[in-house]
Amino acid sequence: MKIIEELYRKARELTNLNSIMALLQWDQEVMMPSGGGAGRADQFSVLSTLIHQKITAPGLGKILQELSDNPEGLSSADLSLLRVLKREYDKNTKLPEKFVADFSRLTSEALPVWVDARKKNAFKLFQPLLERVITMCRQQADFLGYVDHPYDALLDLYEEGLTTNNLEILFGNLKTELSQLLQQKASEKKPIPENLADMTPMLLKDQVHFSERILAEIGYDFNRGRQDISAHPFTTSLGHSDRRVTNRFRPDSLEFIFSALHEGGHALYEQNIAEKYAETPLDEGVSLGIHESQSRLWENIIGRSHLFWEKQYPLLQESLPEQFQNIDLDDFVRHINRVHPGMIRVEADEVSYNLHVLIRFELERGLMEGTIGAADLPGLWNEKYQHYLGVKVDSDANGVLQDIHWAHGSFGYFPTYTIGNLAAAQIWNTYCQFDPDHRQTLLQGKLDKIRNWLTENIYRHGAFYPPADLLQKVCGEPLNSKYFIDYLKNKPEFSL
């Protein structure tokens, strides 16, 4: 057997093991009975240990080294697989096997505790486990290694090459612009139409029905995916032809519409990766920042536009007639684009959203450098919300407990949301140059034209290119926040 064929064999094995892990995680958040937590934690520990053993095996290391030293005759796909697997091998060989097993068990135990603490509005229930997660994440950073800041090691797990210094500069540039825009737009205080402010509660079955319709409209393939309900919406991949989304539904909130578009954007990316990459690490989005650019593009740039709803609003009125039949389209679009600083990140408007991320970045940075502890989080969280957003947080459930990420041990994840917002505007600007009639494209509901362009330029490549290279290839320049600020300043829906 050729050595490159052996690398593909090992890649398939690792990919399938990771898909099995994803299935267990999906089940834990969607289907698992509440009493199954302890057993599931043990299963995660065993499986994560097995995966770690496979990715750190000396035999794999030898193959990676030999191919790196002798790349002659390798195809471009071979070289990309080599790059991605070598990066994973290098990271994982720095993590002791016992640490991997213990961390997997801990985060599995933490998840149901977070769910319970959020339900009971009691941070102290979650605090002891969170303290252990924070300690292990600091250990993880030490194992992985860093030059300037321990947080850098964790950021790089989600966005290759991203550093604390990068983010300090990025948020420093954004903070002033966003604060000024937020003050300007929020001061306009456009009233919520009475029939939207006092909307008849929606039935779960009607919300589920419409969310599935809107997913189908943007091109989500239900033959290779499904939508379920979870405490926090997410997208997961269980294989090349099994990309699943979840949503959450409240009878008085439109969040479910934009969660469907958001998770649908993630899923469209992975459903449209070239089949030739199936069962390899190239069969996934290249980074969370690029992934997030697709979810935010569909959720906000397309999904909150008046032109999009010209075609889709009749579907909403048909699915939920009691709530929307007598609401004017302009009122609806004005409502979903109103700038209203609030407590909840996933319900935030486009102007204030990145300030929610900034708060989490500052807290995570402090936690990783040891200048703050878990016990400080509720107070600091509330102070920062008052400072950056002018919002008084009314509870732990609507404050420090609102996100699932820390229960997962995903420190370093939040900043990728801002990277995604910026990249989405930049990618959309490039699409608009390709399609000068993009307004008509949206008005006529020709979403397949947009999806096909995204597939050709982004989706089909999977993880073939590093994230910075992919953005350069698509847009002709590195990440640039100018396009996002210009988009916010010129968005016509803010003037309705």
Whole-number Å distance between alpha carbons of 354 and 415: 9
For 183, the token pair is 């003050």
Crossing angle for the helix pair 447-457 and 255-271, to the nearest 10 degrees: 50
Residue 352 near residue 338 (C-beta atoms within 8 A): no
Sequence-ordered list of residues with C-beta below 8 angstroms from that of 266, at least 6 positions apart, any chain: 235, 245, 285, 291, 294, 295
For 17, the token pair is 């093991």
Sequence-ordered list of residues with C-beta below 8 angstroms from that of 88, at least 6 positions apart, any chain: 55, 281
284 flagged as catalytic: no
Sequence-ordered list of residues with C-beta below 8 angstroms from that of 114, at least 6 positions apart, any chain: 126, 129, 401, 404, 406, 407
Sequence-ordered list of residues with C-beta below 8 angstroms from that of 316, at least 6 positions apart, any chain: 210, 257, 324, 332
Q: Count CB-CB contacts under 10 A for residue 176.
A: 9
Q: Which of 29, 212, 263, 350 is catalytic?
A: 263
What is the secondary structure of 12-61 as a DSSP string? HHHHHHHHHHHHHHHHHHHT--GGGHHHHHHHHHHHHHHHHHHHT-HHHH
Q: Count CB-CB contacts under 10 A for residue 72.
A: 5
Q: Name which of 489, 471, 490 is nearest 430 in CA terms.
A: 471
Three-class secondary structure assignment of 139-154: HHHHHHCCCCCHHHHH
Strand ranges in 230-288 using DSSP code E only, listed in sequence order: 235-237, 243-247
Which residues are part of the catalytic machinery? 263
